[in-house]
């Protein structure tokens, strides 16, 4: 496990900034944002800044291969000695946006990640491995830093249709050398799913459309197609699979300070190319150590609630979204996604 940043120091920063922002008058005009789980959904006008904090809690539970749910017994019958039971990933994400001019907005995002996986050994004792032994592995630390230029390419004359490009790069600031102690061996290398970064410089292109009604009841909507393209191999001899994601959303604005949103998304991603030799040694013992047991497709539905208060709190937005998969097809055996919560605070100034 890498060094811990105490949660107190993180929250202290967040609380301090929230408090300060209460007293800052704001001249930023309201714009329509996508759900909080969508990154790079909006651009800013010249000289606007935005600071944001997101908390994400993603849960995985059970296993699938293709469309089929697998039981724990299926894993052991396939010859594995250890089955993953469930996994939680918590992410604290700091974001900073700045628009040097009306055409380009720069965005920086730095995640801090904690992953916890619960596992269990086979009900049959095998050699050194005790039967039905439950244990946990944990990894924690900085994830990959991403830098993105959001470039406006079209805005309708009424300013209600907007299109921009997302030109992002992700730098390998996240560790790919996370280890933890287990009952079998101390300081064992953790599988790909438990690492904090990709280990490669990745390109993150995307295109985002957003629109809103001009008069009458207010609705807003949007769509974003984005990808993660990875090249070469990282220092441990592998690269994660490429990703493609389509997000679409629709929001109803009940008043000028509150809206609710629905989001539908589809994500496709590939398996791991190459192997970390320390991990490959365990590929017949535990499904997560096999580079073929990665990749698949997931369709999600997300419901969001957004507050954007006026007067002295103007410029702030508080948002929460709960999402759940409605369909998943995984190269397996692989852990299946369950629900995800994303909560965030954005402050434009
Ligand atoms: Cu922003």
- What's the pLDDT tens digit per position in 173-215? 999 999 999 888 889 999 999 999 999 999 999 999 999 998 8
- What's the pLDDT tens digit per position in 61-75? 999 999 999 999 999
- Beta strand 82-98 with 68-70 is unpaired
Centroid of ligand 1 to alpha carbon of 344 (angstroms): 12
Say if 132 falls within a structural domain. Answer: yes
The CA-atom distances, in angstroms, between 289 and each of 82, 85, 134, 307 are 11, 15, 18, 42
Centroid of ligand 1 to alpha carbon of 193 (angstroms): 30
Domain that holds residue 80: 7-348
Angle subtended at Cα 194 by Cα 93 and Cα 201, rounded to the nearest 5 degrees: 65
Centroid of ligand 1 to alpha carbon of 22 (angstroms): 18
Per-residue HEC secondary structure of 192-237 comes to HHHCCCCCCCEEEEEEEEEEECCCCCEEEEEEEEEEEEECCCCCCC
Q: Read off the pTM.
A: 0.88
The SS3 assignment for 76 reads: helix
Cα–Cα distance for residue pair 196/5, rounded to 1 Å: 15
Centroid of ligand 1 to alpha carbon of 103 (angstroms): 14
Say if 108 falls within a structural domain. Answer: yes
- Compute the average pLDDT of residues 140-150: 98
Cα–Cα distance for residue pair 190/279, rounded to 1 Å: 7
Say if 291 falls within a structural domain. Answer: yes
Say if 272 falls within a structural domain. Answer: yes
Centroid of ligand 1 to alpha carbon of 210 (angstroms): 14
CATH number for the domain that contains residue 57 = 2.40.160.40
Q: How many domains does the chain have?
A: 1
Centroid of ligand 1 to alpha carbon of 217 (angstroms): 24
Q: Which pair of structure tokens corresponds to residue 319? A: 């948002």
Say if 2 falls within a structural domain. Answer: no
- At residue 18 the predicted structure's pLDDT band, cuts being 50, 70 and 90, is low
In this structure, the number of other CB atoms found within 10 A of the CB of residue 28 comes to 15
Centroid of ligand 1 to alpha carbon of 109 (angstroms): 11
Centroid of ligand 1 to alpha carbon of 33 (angstroms): 9
Say if 262 falls within a structural domain. Answer: yes
């Amino acid at each position: 496990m890498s060094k811990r940043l105490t949660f107190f120091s993180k929250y202290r920063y967040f609380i301090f900034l929230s408090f300060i922002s209460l007293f800052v008058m704001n001249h930023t005009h309201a714009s329509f944002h996508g759900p909080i789980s969508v990154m790079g959904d909006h651009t800013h006008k010249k000289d606007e800044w935005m600071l944001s904090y997101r908390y994400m809690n993603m849960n995985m539970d059970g296993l699938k291969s293709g469309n089929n749910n697998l039981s724990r017994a299926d894993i052991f019958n396939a010859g594995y000695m250890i089955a993953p039971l469930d996994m939680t990933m918590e992410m604290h994400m700091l974001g900073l946006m700045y628009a040097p001019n009306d055409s380009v907005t720069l965005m920086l995002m730095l995640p801090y990640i904690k992953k916890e996986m619960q596992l269990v050994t086979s009900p049959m004792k095998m050699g050194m491995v005790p039967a039905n032994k439950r244990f946990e592995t944990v990894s924690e630390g900085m994830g990959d830093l991403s830098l993105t230029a959001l470039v406006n390419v079209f805005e309708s004359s009424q300013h209600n249709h907007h299109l921009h490009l997302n030109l992002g790069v992700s730098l390998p600031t996240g560790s790919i050398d996370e280890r933890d102690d287990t009952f079998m061996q101390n300081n064992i290398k953790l599988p790909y799913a438990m690492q904090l970064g990709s280990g490669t410089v990745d390109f993150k292109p995307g295109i985002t459309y957003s629109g809103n009604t001009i008069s009458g009841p207010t609705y807003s909507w949007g769509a974003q197609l984005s990808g993660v393209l990875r090249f070469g191999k990282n220092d441990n001899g592998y690269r994660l699979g490429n990703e493609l994601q389509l997000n679409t959303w629709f929001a109803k604005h009940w008043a000028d300070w509150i809206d609710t949103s629905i989001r539908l998304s589809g994500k496709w991603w590939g398996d791991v190319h190459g192997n970390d030799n320390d991990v490959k040694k365990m590929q017949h013992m535990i499904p997560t150590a096999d580079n073929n047991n990665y990749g698949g497709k997931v369709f999600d539905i997300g419901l969001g609630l957004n507050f954007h208060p006026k007067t002295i709190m103007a410029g702030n937005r508080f948002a929460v979204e709960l999402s759940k998969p409605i369909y998943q097809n995984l190269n397996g055996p692989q852990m299946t996604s369950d629900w995800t919560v994303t909560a965030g605070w954005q402050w434009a100034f």
